[in-house]
Amino acid sequence: MQIRAGAGVRFSAGASANAERAAIDRAASRRRAATMTDYSRGKRMRAMLFVVAVVAAAGGCSKHESKPVERGPIEVTARTVLPRDAPVSFEYVGQTQSSRQVQIVARVNGFLERRLYAEGSLVKAGQVMFQQDPKPLQAQVAAAKAALAEQQARLKVAADNLARVKPLAERKALSQRELDDATGAAETAAAAVEVAKANLEQARLNLSYTTITTPVTGLSSFARVQDGQYINITDSQLTYVAQLDPMWVNFSLSENDMLAIRTEQQAGRLRLPQKDDFEVSVVLADGSTFPKKGRITFANADYNPQTGTFMLRATLPNPEGVLRPGQFVRVRVSGAVRPNAILVPQQSVLQGAQGHFVVTVDKDSRAQIRPVEVGTWDGDDWVIVKGLAAGDVVVTDGMVRLSPGAPVKVVAAAAKAAGTSGGDAPAGK
C-alpha cells in the first residue's frame, strides 16, 4: 500500500514515522522562504518609492526657494599708497671701547711708597696716582751734580791752559804739538761737561718718575701693586686709565649686508649720504637711546676672514661718562634715503604658500588679493619693492575676515569696534 505525502513524495507502508515528519518539515520550510522573499521585495520597493517621493518634493520646493541674501560690506581700515622719500636706518650689534686706554706703569725700580687715588674713581689728567720712594734717586741726582761740577772745573783748567799755549805757539815759542795737546784737552773737558749734564738730567728724570701721574682723564682700574712692594720695571704695570670722552663703538657689517646695500644703491632704490657722512646713535640694554649722536670715523681696510664681516667704528661724545668700555649696545646708523619708497604697515603684509601678499580695495569697494615683493623693514613699516603703485588702497586692519571679491567699507581706525592701527588714515573711498 502507498501513501502520497506531498507533491512527488511517496512512502511505503513500511517507512518510519520520522522520515515522514522530515519530509513535511522540508515542504513547510520552502513555503516560508517563498513568503519571506515576497515580503523583502515589497519592502525594498516601498523604500525606493519613498526616496523618489522625497527627491521630487525637494525639487518642487527648490523652485519656490528665495536666493540667499548677500551680507553687507565688512568694515576695515586702510591706507592709500603715497610714495615718498623715506629715511633708512640700519641696526647692528656693537660694543663700546675706550678711545684711549693708558697703561700706568713704573719707569724706575724702587719701592712703592703709597697709592694716591681711589680705585675705580674718575681721575683727571696730571693727577698723581702712585708715589715711589724718591730717596735713592735723590742721591743719584746729587751725585750727578757733583760729577758735573768736577767736569766743569776740569774744563776751566783746560781752557786756561789753551789760552796760555795759543799765543806762545803763534810766536813759535812752543811747538805745534803742544798746541794740539792743549786744544784736545780743552775739547775733551768740554765733552765731559756735556756728558755730566746729560747724566744729571737723566737722574732728575728718574727722580721725577717716582711720582706717577695719569696722562688722560678717565676711569681708573684697581691697583695691581700694593704699598711697600718693590717694583721692577720689567713687570711694572700698576693699573690703567680708560678715557671715557669720547667713546668708541665698534660694530661689524657682514659681507652680505654690504653687497645688498651696494645692489640697492646701484638700482636707485637707496641713496647714501654724501661722503658717507652717516649719523650714529646708540640704544642701551634697557631700550633707552643714548642722547649724544656720533659719526663713523674708521672703516677697516679688509674683511675678517674668520667672521666674514667688515669692522666699523663710530665715535660719540660721552661727557657724563654714561657709556663704559665693554658694553654691548645696538648701533643705529641713519642718513640713507629710499627715494619714492612705497611703505605699508607690517601687519598689512601677509604670507601664504605663494609668498607675501596684501589685501587691496578696488574701485568697486571689493577686496582683492595682491602679491607683493617685500624689501627691508623701516621702523613699523615694510618696504614694498614690487606689486603696489601710487593710489592703491591697502587694508591695514580687518583683512582676516575678507575673501576675494568681498564688499568692503573703509572706516577710520577709531571707528572700528575691534582694534586700531596706529598711524593709519582712512583711504578716500
pLDDT tens digits, 47-58: 343 333 333 444
Give mean pLDDT, residues 215-235.
93
Per DSSP, the three-state class of 240 is strand
CATH match for 75-83+342-415 among 2.40.420.20, 2.60.40.10, 1.20.1250.20, 3.40.50.1000: 2.40.420.20
CA distance 128 to 125: 9
Residue 131, pLDDT > 50, answer yes
CA dihedral sign, ordered 197, 198, 199, 203? positive
Separation of CA 5 from chain center: 108
pLDDT band at 382 (very low <50, low <70, confident <90, very high): confident
What DSSP letter does each residue of 159-193 carry, written as one string? HHHHHHHHHHHHTTSS-HHHHHHHHHHHHHHHHHH
pLDDT band at 376 (very low <50, low <70, confident <90, very high): confident
CA distances from 388 to 22, 284, 412 (A): 93, 37, 22
Q: Full-prediction pTM beyond 0.85?
A: no
CA dihedral sign, ordered 191, 194, 200, 204? negative
The pLDDT, as a whole number, for residue 21 is 59
The pLDDT, as a whole number, for residue 422 is 38
Owner of C-alpha cell 548677500: 70
CATH of domain 88-97+241-337: 2.40.30.170
Query: Cα-atom radius of gyration of the chain, to the nearest Å?
Result: 53
The pLDDT, as a whole number, for residue 52 is 36
3-state secondary structure 70-92: CCCCEEEEEEECCCEEEEEEEEE
pLDDT band at 132 (very low <50, low <70, confident <90, very high): very high
Lowest-confidence range among 67-76, 208-217, 220-229, 309-318? 67-76
The pLDDT, as a whole number, for residue 420 is 41
Greatest CA separation found in the chain?
A: 205
Conformational region of residue 66, where left means phi above 0, alpha means psi within -120 to 50, and beta covers everything else: beta
Residue 28, pLDDT > 50, answer yes
Bridge partners (DSSP) of residue 393 are 80
CATH of domain 109-240: 2.40.50.100
Mean pLDDT of the chain: 83
Interhelix angle for 135-170 vs 176-209, to 10°? 160
Give mean pLDDT, residues 157-174.
90
The pLDDT, as a whole number, for residue 88 is 86
Separation of CA 112 from chain center: 46
pLDDT of 248-286, one tens digit each? 999 999 989 999 899 989 988 889 998 889 999 999 999
Lowest-confidence range among 35-49, 101-115, 194-208? 35-49
The pLDDT, as a whole number, for residue 49 is 35
The pLDDT, as a whole number, for residue 27 is 59
The pLDDT, as a whole number, for residue 59 is 46
